[in-house]
Chains A and B, each alone.
Chain A
Amino acid sequence: MKILAKYEFDELVNKWIAEDPREVVGATHDGTKFVFDDIDDAEELRLDYDLTMLSPKKYFFPQRERLVQYDTNENDYAMVQDWSEESRIIVGIHPYDLVAIEQLDDIFIDAQGDEPYRRKRENSVLIGVTMQSVSEHSFAASMGTARTETGYDLLVTELEDTYAIEIGSEKGSGLLEEAPTKEASLEEVEAVEEQKAAVESKFEKGIEFSPKQLPSLLKEGYDAVEVWDEYADGCLSCGTCNVVCPTCYCFNVDVVDYMTDEVGETRRRWDGCLLEEFAAVAGGENFREERVARHRHRLMRKGNYLYERFGDIACVGCGRCTKQCVADVADPSEIYNELWRSVNA
């Protein structure tokens, strides 16, 4: 573990901004809310944020992305890959978002071999931060994701006048090479541990059982119609809970021509299983036509289906869906707890 005075950390970040070929982005405040965005100066960083609007997954899997351009005017059909390979240093990622990115890596890189994702992901450096503030909507501690020992290249914890920096990879240590770091003292290492433990007690929300029990709970509770109906009745099928989620990875691909059928491109855009047309297939069938089926599907997926397939509980408890659902029917902790009570009644 390394120690840097706060001003030295700021100088280091400014040095990256000035000299590193990668773009420096981080948690910042845009005047109305916390977001991950470009920063021109370390002062713009807000490492004390509680919850950002979207997670940094947008840097590897952008909301909208061109994939391929085609041109059939050429003698032979020309098709060029045209996604960006941007590289970034991303500063200030909370542990639950780091966990979410590890899950996306499994899916996009290992399972799907998705090149547009992989290039951007591997070109980027993830600098995590130990949470300082906790959103009232978050229940990460109960999901075991309010802290993490993996998934970061560097992890920064604020101490009094200094930052303690844990090294997670060679990419991370490379960033510290020219910084005037000191080795952390035993006390400082302990202070970091205390910080991480203290954060866990700041959460107001939580699931009332172990996340390990979630896959079984969902299996047993699949037919607890009263619980599912109670939430689905108020659901607007707006898809918000999907698109704000750091672990959702569905997208839709459109072919867009440039007003002639010879030249055009394919684009992908985030999609969501709550949207009515999501499960519609050619021929007019829709697998999940009923609102309640779609609403349940998301919660089944987060807590059971993805576990069955990849071994991960795909809700990291960030609370974004809870906060952004205008109908207030998306909160996984609330729904899972209610299911727990109903199954155990």
Chain B
Amino acid sequence: MSQTKMKPRVAFFDFTGCEGDQLQIINLEEKLLKLVEIVDIVSFREATSAHSDDYQIAFVEGSISRDHDAERLEEIRSNADTLVALGSCATIGGINAVRNSQDFDTVQKRAYGDDADRIDSWEDAKPAAEVVEVEYEIPGCPIDKDEFLRVVTDLVQGREPSLPKYPVCLECKLNENTCAFLREDICLGPVTRGGCDAVCVSEGTRCWGCRGLIDNPNENAAFDVLEEHGLSVEEVTEFYNMYFGWQQTAEVEQ
């Protein structure tokens, strides 16, 4: 790389989430060294106590679920040239958004017991793009390390990052997995955005949909398939809601 080029300054922030995506970045190991060759990391709570508000690219993890979150996110937005949402919670609400379809009082009591009243949480956990403008999204629970590096590299090189449009089934088949449906299991791979190399199915389980719905899913067909494999309408909805809840509500509202 030509030494004259300025390295972009990059910061990481977390909201409501498990910080599993930042952990993936720490786990990049030797590739982390390559990463710091192309960017300057100025804020990354998981790895360093140093912090600066002077950055070009901000990665935000976690869903947004209270006023304080929104204020912080707005400030990050105003500091950053480019905002990238990281992981399922920040891109599609993630597991946090499961509660959006449940009774809020019950949810609060279950989570905080007697302290429930002192928590100022919103009824809905929201993806970052609901609150501020987000340029790019890296989905996944957790994110795929290589996809993260690809997006960073694209941003540094001035290219437009893009996500796969194909569903999980494609990579699943390339890996010669036995289809979950052929071993009497169920799966959301046909409607979930690919790019994860179908790791969950390759490990012997099913796709849970953590990367969110593909752009134009044939949802009627997907529902039919799940029902034919023995799920009731409620069960299909529940399976769908685990990760797709926010996207589906957003779709209905459109």
Contact = CB atoms under 8 A, between A and B. Distances in A.
A260 B2 CA distance: 10
A269 B174 contact: yes
A262 B166 CA distance: 29
A244 B174 CA distance: 8
Contacts of A64: 174
B173 to A, nearest CB: 5
B25 interface: no
B157 A239 contact: no
B165 A277 contact: yes
Contact of B157 (A32, A244, A261, A277): A261
Interface stretch (B14-22, B49-57, B117-125, B219-227): B219-227
* Chain B facing A: main interface SS: helix
A35 interface: yes
Given A239-B167, A240-B173, A324 B179 contact: yes
Given A234-B224, A239-B170, A291 B157 contact: no
B38 A233 contact: no
Interface in A221-261: 233-240, 243-244, 256-261
A63 to B, nearest CB: 4
B222 A236 contact: yes
B112 interface: no
B169 interface: yes
Q: How large is the interface on A (under 10, 10 to 19, 20 to 34, 35 or more residues)?
A: 35 or more
A113 B1 CA distance: 36
A238 B170 contact: yes
A293 interface: no
Contacts of A197: none
A53 B176 contact: yes
A236 B218 CA distance: 6
B153 A272 contact: no
B137 to A, nearest CB: 17
A243 B174 contact: yes
A189 interface: no
Contacts of B152: 259
Contact of B224 (A243, A257, A327): A327
A283 to B, nearest CB: 14
Interface in B168-184: 169-170, 173-176, 178-179, 181-183
Interface in A127-174: none
A323 B178 CA distance: 11
Looking at B31, B34, B174, the one whose CB has the most chain A CB atoms below 10 A away is B174
Contact of B179 (A234, A243, A260, A326): A326
A234 B216 contact: no
B22 to A, nearest CB: 19
Interface in B194-232: 214-218, 220-222, 224-225
Nearest to A256: B150
A276 B165 contact: yes
Contacts of A275: 165-166, 170
Contacts of A239: 166-167, 169-170, 173
A305 interface: no
A297 B172 CA distance: 23
A54 interface: yes
Contact of A234 (B1, B31, B221): B221
A240 B169 contact: yes
A270 interface: yes
A257 B170 contact: no
Looking at B167, B182, B221, the one whose CB has the most chain A CB atoms below 10 A away is B221
Contacts of A323: 182
A60 to B, nearest CB: 15
B153 A235 contact: no
Interface in B90-128: none
A237 to B, nearest CB: 6
Nearest to B157: A261
B178 A32 contact: yes
B167 A277 contact: no
A33 interface: yes
Contacts of B37: 259-260
Nearest to B154: A257
Interface of B: 1, 31, 34-35, 37-38, 149-150, 152-153, 157, 165-167, 169-170, 173-176, 178-179, 181-183, 187, 189-191, 214-218, 220-222, 224-225
19 contacts: A32-B178, A63-B175, A234-B218, A236-B218, A236-B222, A238-B167, A239-B167, A239-B170, A257-B157, A259-B34, A259-B35, A259-B38, A260-B37, A269-B174, A276-B166, A277-B165, A326-B169, A326-B179, A326-B190
Given A234-B218, A260-B38, 19 more contacts: A32-B178, A32-B183, A63-B174, A64-B174, A233-B220, A237-B216, A238-B170, A239-B173, A240-B170, A259-B34, A259-B37, A259-B149, A259-B153, A261-B157, A262-B1, A276-B215, A324-B173, A326-B169, A327-B224
Interface of A: 32-33, 35, 53-54, 63-64, 233-240, 243-244, 256-262, 269-270, 272, 275-277, 291, 323-324, 326-327
